[in-house]
Structure 1
Amino acid sequence: MNRQVRNGSSLGGEHLTDLLVFSFLQHGPNNFQEELKKLDHTLPVPHGPQEHLEEELQTDGSRCSHFVFEDQSRGSETQEDVIRDIARQLARIGDTMDRRVPQGLVDHLVMQLRDRSLSDEGRRACLATAVDRVLQACPRDMEEEKTMLLVTMLLARKVASHTPSLLREVFHTTVNFINQNLLTYVRNLVRNEMD
């Protein structure tokens, strides 16, 4: 069966990228687990036919929704599983590339992302500059889009590791950057894995 990544029963572009970046950040060395948990509760989860909602009453009286994917209990691989597998594989590759990211570049990016007067577009531009600088030091043994995706998410992880309080900002900047520059590549990557 040929499944496609599209809006509707599949994850839309933004949610697909949210899940990919979030899953990438969960893997590999990090010291921002608490921030990841907080971020996880703020991420939108798409509604699809194979999922149902379970709600829990929180201590503050609000409701926390968790989606349970029924297909997982039947052993079939969902699109979300595929995205998490891709993120896990990319995180392993990213671990080997980690040393190619100069600490000074990370420090500079942290300083820029701390600037509250910077617009979303300004943040994306700072990230794009950092990605370009790291790409110059990367070997050309992978396809360009894959390397760019890896470097982008690796920079997000390094910024969050350096300054965990910036996780939310770097996460959203990274998702926006990927959606703007690499969404077609990410969709194709997922589609190819699902075929």
Structure 2
Amino acid sequence: MDSQVSNGSSLEAEHITNLLVFGFLQNSKYNFNQELEALSQELPVQVYLDADFEDELQTDGSRASRSFYHGRIQPDSESQESAIQNIARRLAQVGDEMDHRIQPTLVRQLAEQFMNTSLSEEDRRNCLARALDEMKTAFPRDMENEKAMLIMTLLLARNVAKHAPSLLHDVFRTTVTFINQNLFTYVRNLLRNEMD
């Protein structure tokens, strides 16, 4: 972990942030199972669908098995992945309590911007950054700024995907890149604290 670059440009950073954002969406109060399943097939890391998925009864009467998708994964990273899932779960719980702070008009505007296929990835990140700037007054005063910004970033992604599920892939990718560029040091510290 100490070899990670603080700006999040390493493969390790990408792996951590992919799992964090995926875990946040997976622990959402909204049902993104179909979209997450499709997204998981494109990720360069192994991700698991929610453990509750294991117990779902299928339409043919059989039980669903725990689904996983193949990708690059290091054998010693199981405890790290578990820690990331725990962090994502807790962030999603806090996010559910903060969800009312996000204005629906802001979500609609951001979704419309993401639907513009002529926007570059950098343009999308800038749109996300502007939306976060507009929301800064809604950040809880008793929460450290980086934590509030991380949760609000994840909430914006989740709400845009809820508003327009077809945007999940683009929103996911932009969110991962945004977090790696702006909040990865904070994410890395959360992970270190979780694993201590």
Q: Do both proteins adopt the same fold according to a TM-score greater than 0.5, normalized to the shorter chain?
A: yes
Aligned to 2:109: 108
1:38-80, CA deviations, whole angstroms, 9 ceiling, x for partnerless residues? 001111128xxxxxxxxxxxxxxxxx636888779xxxx7000
- 1:78-93 equivalences under 5 Å are 78-93=79-94
Kept in 2: contact 1:21–1:171 (CA 8 A) = yes
Structure with a larger share of its residues in strand: 1
Where do residues 11-160 of structure 1 align in structure 2 (5 Å cutoff)?
A: 12-45=12-45, 65=70, 78-160=79-161
Q: State the secondary structure of the residue aligned to 1:165.
A: helix
How far 1:140 moved relative to its partner?
1.2
Q: What do you get for the CA RMSD once the two structures are aligned?
A: 2.3
* 1:168 alignment partner AA: H
Deviation at 1:132, TM superposition (A): 1.5
How far apart are the structure 2 equivalents of 1:98 and 1:131? 14
- 2:26, 2:32 within 8 Å by CA — same for their partners in 1? no
Counterpart amino acid of 1:44? P
Looking at structure 1, the residues matched to 124 and 89 of structure 2 have their Cα atoms a distance apart, in angstroms, of 26
- Number of the residue aligned with 1:179: 180
Instruction: State the aligned residue count.
Output: 170
- Relative to the length of structure 2, the TM-score reads 0.79
Counterpart contact for 2:19–2:85, Cα < 8 Å = yes
TM-aligned CA deviation for residue 29 of structure 1: 1.7
Check whether the contact 1:5–1:12 (CA below 8 A) recurs between aligned residues.
no
Deviation, structure 1 residue 32: 2.5
Report if the CA contact (8 A) 1:109-1:127 is conserved: yes
* Kept after mapping to 1: 8 A contact 2:107/2:160: yes
Mapped to 1, the partners of 2:71 and 2:117 lie a distance apart of 32
Q: State the partner residue of 1:188.
A: 189
**Cα contact 1:160–1:170 (8 A) shared by 2:** yes
Secondary structure class of the residue paired with 2:29: coil
Report the Cα distance in structure 1 between the residues aligned to 2:120 and 2:74, rounded to whole angstroms.
Answer: 37
- Contact 1:5/1:187 (<8 A) preserved: no
4+ residue runs of structure 1 moved beyond 6 angstroms? 66-72
Q: Determine if contact 2:160/2:171 at 8 Å carries over to the other structure.
A: yes
Q: Distance in 2 between matches of 1:175 and 1:20?
A: 9
Between the two proteins, what is the percent identity of the paired residues?
55
Deviation, structure 1 residue 130: 0.8
Q: Distance in 2 between matches of 1:140 and 1:4?
A: 31
